Amino acid sequence: MPEGAPQADEEPDARYGDGDVLPAGLRAVRTPGPEEAHYCLLTDPAEDALICSDLLMYTDHLQFVPLRFHDDPDATRASVRGLLDLPFGLLLLDHGPPQRDPKPQIEMVLDDDGR
């Protein structure tokens, strides 16, 4: 369970935080915004993928998950900007198909946001 997550019915066996390596070699990357204890998962660099939930979605283009659903939209914007510094070439979304070479699309999302 992520550090800072709301209390669960039972105490988890372990908690993880930013930079921790999880099973299957996934590295936790803290990305607050949707909620305080929100994380993306970065695969081993050889696999070149970022598993990204609830920050971005793809319908006919990449865009923010509607910010009205986020606890802190400004933190979401900062988290998405921080994704550009990570080593990945494949973006795996829970809202839309995988995106290859997504960083130019992410930059467009940020530019279109007007901030």
Write down how long the chain is. 115
Query: Global pTM?
Result: 0.92
Q: Domain tally for the chain?
A: 1
pLDDT tens digits for range 69-95: 999 999 999 999 999 999 999 999 999
Q: Which domain holds residue 63?
A: 23-112
Residue with tokens 């070149």: 48
CATH code assigned at 50: 3.60.15.10
Cα-flanking dihedrals φ and ψ of residue 104, to 5°? Answer: -60, -35
The conformation of residue 12, written as its DSSP 8-state character, comes to -
Is residue 1 assigned to a domain?
no
pLDDT tens digits for range 4-49: 898 889 989 999 999 999 999 999 999 999 999 999 999 988 789 9
pLDDT tens digits for range 43-56: 988 789 999 999 99
Is residue 83 assigned to a domain?
yes
Q: Angle 90-69-114 (CA atoms, 0-180°, nearest 5)? A: 70
Is residue 101 assigned to a domain?
yes
